[in-house]
Amino acid sequence: MSPVGFGNVAIFDSPGKGRGLKATKEFWAGDVIFSEPSLAAVVFDSLAERICHSCFRRQEKLQKCSQCKFAHYCDRTCQRAGWAEHKQECGAIKAYGKAPNENIRLVARLMWRLDKEGSVVSDMQLITVEELEDHVADMQEDEIKELKVDIHNFLDYWPRNSKQHTIDDISHIFGVINCNGFTVSDQRGLQAVGVGLFPNLCMVNHNCWPNCTVILNHGNQSAVNTMFHSQRRIELRSLGKIAEGEELTVAYVDFLNLSEERRRLLKTQYFFDCQCDYCKNGTKDDLKLAGREVDGVKPSEQQVKEATDYCFQKLETMDKARLDGDYHQVVKICRDVIDRTEPVLADTHIYLLRMWSTLSEVQAYLQYFNDAAEYSRKMVEGYMKLYHPNNAALGMAAMRAGVNHWQAGLIEVGHGMVCKAYAILLVTHGPTHPITKDLEAMRMQTEMELRMFKQNEYVYHSMRDAALQNKPMTMLHEPKGVEEGIKNLFHRRK
């Protein structure tokens, strides 16, 4: 297959959606339909000193650019690899006296590249930036105000010796990245760390139950000589069988939202009314707000409503405590809500799932592994009834549950969860992604431990305790706010 695979897709007029991409051949689960390097990408303002500006990896110690003092890199290798993108930016930051916001930096990087290479930078590019929708005419008054401020600051930042552009051209590119900027993740795919523009990806339309998923593949950045680096790129991967001629779709927003909320988000953020069957029919909305049925007996609608309202009220308090790092308070809130609402709400209720998810994450961080295992297992069981079987969020939840069970010494369930996660992430991320490689190592380890456990439980637990003293399986990280995770496909300025 070619590096980008554009013999695999074609632009067509999608009914009710405008332009879209369709498959020109048959695909199966896990196939890479195409890959595409970014035209330009930048690290978020808030992470500028913690993420390498070239390879987007999170590192403990980064080296600062000696000229502008703003860009940070893993080492000289990354600095050399990123110089082509940073060269003009470096001079502009020095002259301006500071680094402007991420939107302005991305627009500037895009314009410098397009000025240098023209509107089509490779024969793999299906559409130019000029042809992409900017939706400036659809913006709300407050968004227009922000846009005008950004354009004003951009004009102050843009060097006089660079090619000058009209306000309309600048406004168009700001509009394009506002609704098409793709969220760029760190090397493990666990946190959003920047934003980039991938023109071909912009052609893939939304569906709440899509047939494709997008992941960022960082490629190989480890070689000392930058000529051996492979490009950071997105991969559009098939979630199941796709027939020749079928439209390719991805989910712009998380399916766990109710259909009304998904439609609202899509309208306000991407300026269209979703007409997919899942939205029109409210598919699975009943499960997402369902009551718990026990021996054929269901709670009353009033009981479910009261439990739902109570859960919803507490979500904001819980999120604030988590952002403040008050994890014992998070546990207290979650336990209180779960004790009151778990007897009434179904295991697919989205607010209860949020509580289980948060509690399992925080308990794992606090090293209460039995509790973390229990709630992460409940979360996976709920997710399985709601998500597409090859949804990446389901795979990541199963991975977390697998690690929690392993840490709690529950090797049988732990191994099963790790295997489930591995099977999903092979499809969504592919075998070479760092997370998939981590999971493969975990799968081999838990399989070996499971055999040992079945032969002699006492010996297994003795050896496991000794191994834990030496080096535990590292999956712990400090729990972060929901907004730091990668929930939406495209990056939207809040």
pLDDT in tens, 215-261: 887 665 554 454 444 567 889 999 999 999 999 999 999 999 999 99
> For residue 286, what pLDDT is reported?
96
Query: Mean pLDDT across the stretch 196-218?
Result: 92
- 455 CB-near residues (< 8 Å, 6+ apart): none
Structure tokens at 427: 């499809």
Query: Mean pLDDT across the stretch 33-50?
Result: 93
Amino acid type, 119? S
Query: Mean pLDDT across the stretch 378-383?
Result: 97
Query: Mean pLDDT across the stretch 180-190?
Result: 81
CATH code that applies to domain 289-448: 1.25.40.10
CA gap 358, 322 in Å, rounded? 9
Amino acid type, 82? G
Residue 195 has pLDDT above 50, yes or no: yes
> For residue 389, what pLDDT is reported?
96
The helix (H) or strand (E) run that includes residue 233 is strand 233-238
pLDDT class for 494, splitting at 50, 70, 90? very low
Name residue 233's beta-bridge partners. Answer: 37, 217
Q: How many residues are there in the chain?
A: 494
Q: Give 428 or 122, the one with higher predicted confidence.
A: 428
> For residue 470, what pLDDT is reported?
66
Amino acid type, 112? W
Which of 5-19, 39-53, 479-493 is predicted with the least confidence, judged by mean pLDDT? 479-493
Residue 424 has pLDDT above 80, yes or no: yes
pLDDT class for 55, splitting at 50, 70, 90? confident
Query: Boundaries of CATH 1.10.220.160 in the chain?
Result: 43-194
CA gap 53, 83 in Å, rounded? 10
CA 329 to chain centre: 27
CA gap 386, 352 in Å, rounded? 13
For the chain, what is the mean pLDDT? 89
Q: In this predicted model, what pLDDT tens digit does every residue of 134-143 receive, in sequence order? A: 999 999 999 9
Q: In this predicted model, what pLDDT tens digit does every residue of 328-373 receive, in sequence order? A: 999 999 999 999 999 999 999 999 999 999 999 999 999 999 999 9
Residue 5 has pLDDT above 50, yes or no: no
Pairing relation of β-strands 32-37 and 249-250?
unpaired
Angle at 138 between CA 132 and CA 140, to 5 degrees: 130
CA gap 136, 148 in Å, rounded? 11
Query: Boundaries of CATH 1.25.40.10 in the chain?
Result: 289-448
pLDDT class for 459, splitting at 50, 70, 90? confident
- 252 CB-near residues (< 8 Å, 6+ apart): 206, 266, 269, 270, 488, 489, 490
Share above pLDDT 70 across residues of the chain, in percent, rounded to a whole number: 90
Q: Which CATH architecture has domain 43-194?
A: Orthogonal Bundle (1.10)
pLDDT class for 189, splitting at 50, 70, 90? confident
Asked if 489 and 202 count as a contact pair (C-beta separation under 8 A), the reply is no
C-alpha distances (whole Å) from 433 to each of 202, 219, 370, 405, 430 are 23, 9, 29, 23, 6
> For residue 252, what pLDDT is reported?
92
Residue 69 has pLDDT above 50, yes or no: yes
Q: How many CB atoms lie within 10 A of CB 341?
A: 23
Residue 485 has pLDDT above 70, yes or no: no
